[in-house]
A = this chain, B = another copy of it.
Amino acid sequence: MPSLASAARAHPSLAWGGGASRTPRHAPSAAVAPTLRVGKDKVIFSEADRATHVYRVLSGVVRTSRLLSDGRRQIEAFHFEGEVFGLEVGDEHRSGAEAVQEAVVAVYHRGVFEGASPADAALSGQLVAALGRTLSRAREHMVLLGCKSALERVAAFLIGMSERLGGEVLRLPMTRADIADHLGLTTETVSRSFTLLERAGLIEAGPDRRSIVLRDVEALRRLDA
């Protein structure tokens, strides 16, 4: 099972990272995880690619998204350090993945899912757990997209980021367009919502507009509904 070779084939334009992997070098069988380094906005896999691998973010940030034929985009999720993405049930990817900022990802052969080798059992379990977490997030996001107003969405987004990045001082790695496509809004509406929150004193934005300080997390939570 040439997992490394086939992964390289799937990403001819990408270079393999060497020593950055967190997986011990002596780990046996398919659990050996080579790493992949991807530059900002570079594609990790595309919609309809064969889903031969599963990925974990070692550093940087990745987005997974789906495109409609006319260019509309839905970003399903942003993936931060330690998070798994690229899991599929069928044999092809239903969403694409790109790096939001330069990222290093571990690449696992998809076969570990079947749990053929006992050495892979633990990894397989981890993947089921990751599947569960992904589903949980997706459900939460459906509520956001189906029920909430623009301001509520942005508030929820900021709270989520704060919880995941830790702390009330954030440096958002993604553009307003990414945020908009994640929240089902336009960049203008996202921008206006930030401005509203700032004017209300709930947040404070740095001059670069990517650094955000949450001044009143409680109020944001109340807004989130």
**Does A74 contact B135, Cβ atoms closer than 8 Å?**
no
Q: How many angstroms between the C-alpha atoms of A69 and B139 in the bound complex?
A: 17
Across-interface contacts of A182 in B (CB, < 8 A): 146
Binary per-residue interface labels of chain A (74-105) against chain B in the complex, 1 for a CB within 8 Å, 0 otherwise = 10100000000001111000110000000000
Are B136's CB and A89's CB within 8 A? yes
- Bound together, the chains give a CA A192 to CA B182 distance in angstroms of 28
Contact residues, A116-159 vs B (CB, 8 A): 128-129, 131-136, 138-143, 145-148
Among A70, A88, A128, A135, chain B packs the most CB atoms within 10 A around the CB of: A135
As a 0/1 sequence over residues 49 to 68 of chain A, the CB contacts with chain B under 8 angstroms (1 = contact) are 00000000000000000101
Q: Which residue of B lies closest to A134 (CB)?
A: B135
Whether the Cβ atoms of B142 and A89 lie closer than 8 Å is no
Residue of B nearest to A130 (CB): B89
Residues of B within 8 A of A133 (CB): 89
Please, could you name 27 A-B residue pairs with CB atoms under 8 Å apart, sorted by A?
A68-B143, A72-B147, A72-B148, A72-B225, A73-B147, A74-B142, A74-B143, A74-B147, A76-B139, A87-B135, A88-B132, A89-B129, A89-B135, A89-B136, A90-B136, A128-B131, A131-B131, A131-B132, A135-B135, A135-B138, A138-B142, A141-B142, A145-B145, A145-B146, A145-B184, A146-B184, A147-B184
A residues contacting B by CB (< 8 A) are 66, 68-70, 72-74, 76, 87-90, 94-95, 128-129, 131-136, 138-143, 145-148, 181-184, 225
Q: List 18 other contacts, CB 8 Å, given A128-B128, A135-B135.
A: A66-B139, A68-B143, A68-B225, A72-B147, A74-B143, A74-B147, A76-B142, A88-B132, A90-B136, A128-B131, A131-B131, A131-B132, A134-B135, A142-B145, A146-B181, A146-B183, A146-B184, A147-B184
